[in-house]
Amino acid sequence: MKHLVVLSGAGMSAESGLGTFRDAGGLWEQYKIEEVATPEAWAKNPELVTEFYNMRRKQCMECNPNEGHHILAELENDFKVSVITQNIDNLHERAGSTNVLHLHGEIMKVKSSGPKQEETYYDWHKAEVKQSDVCPDGYPLRPHVVWFGEAVPALDQAADIVSTADLFLVVGTSLQVYPAASLVHYNPLGTPSYLIDPHADEFRLSQFKQIAKPVTEGMAIFKEIISKS
């Protein structure tokens, strides 16, 4: 069974109603990144950071996987599929994908803000985290997400996965966020590679076959292409 490796980004979830960083009127337009998505922001104003991610968590809970997510999950019937996502939502899993690696963490999990935070995290099924919610060691709970300025713990694992691809798909990401964007360089030379994005023809990725369509439409086209290969 061929190994399909997928790198997905915010555009994958945008058609489910989850805004991207650049969406007009979205959450990110209402807040400065340095005020809500950095370790310094947490140290300065944990209440604001907690409230911001409470809003993002609630938004995630109110959204549903789109057809693009479902097509990707269905491809597990014919391929070994590994999804590497920059998204912190759980829409891939809710659509049925069984092998998902989250580069930037998961909004439906929380972790200790203390020194053992990389060892101590928990599933969180409520919309809100309160200031009174603490880990067993007494430290306040923070979102289990990778903030700007923090290391990406799963990056080496993701690079190893990409290096084993028989097919490679990039979908819904502008490839402007590093180090995640660097993963395309681990794609084995000669691997059939595809890029789904409405502006795919603007990307300088000559080795990728471009599908210049929105995610759901592009995923349907991609499924048809690889089913004939």
Q: What is the pLDDT of residues 77-112, one digit of tens each?
A: 999 999 999 999 999 999 999 999 999 999 999 999
- pLDDT given for residue 23 in this prediction: 53
Among residues 145, 172, 203, the one where a domain terminates is 145
Give tens-digit pLDDT for 30-78: 778 889 999 999 999 999 999 999 999 999 999 999 999 999 999 999 9
CATH number, domain with residue 118:
3.30.1600.10
In a shared domain, residues 125 and 207: no
Query: Residue 29 — pLDDT band, cuts 50, 70, 90?
Result: low
In a shared domain, residues 88 and 184: yes
Among residues 145, 170, 205, the one where a domain terminates is 145
Mean pLDDT of 148-155: 93
In a shared domain, residues 58 and 81: no
For the chain, what is the mean pLDDT? 90
In a shared domain, residues 76 and 182: yes
Q: Does 24 have pLDDT greater than 60?
A: no
In a shared domain, residues 120 and 218: no
**Which of these is catalytic: 104, 125, 144, 199?**
104
In a shared domain, residues 134 and 187: no
- pLDDT given for residue 198 in this prediction: 87
In a shared domain, residues 186 and 175: yes
Structural domains of the chain, count: 2
In a shared domain, residues 71 and 54: no
In a shared domain, residues 81 and 125: no
Q: Does 25 have pLDDT greater than 70?
A: no
Phi and psi at residue 227, to the nearest 5°: -70, -20
CATH number, domain with residue 86:
3.40.50.1220
**What global pTM score does this model have?**
0.92
Instruction: Count Cβ atoms below 10 Å from residue 91 Cβ, excluding itself.
Output: 23
Percentage of the chain beyond pLDDT 90 is 70
In a shared domain, residues 134 and 169: no
Query: Residue 22 — pLDDT band, cuts 50, 70, 90?
Result: low
Is 125 a residue of the active site? no
In a shared domain, residues 26 and 50: yes
Domain that includes residue 58, residue range:
19-62+109-145
- pLDDT given for residue 119 in this prediction: 67
Mean pLDDT of 146-169: 96
Mean pLDDT of 123-129: 91
In a shared domain, residues 160 and 173: yes
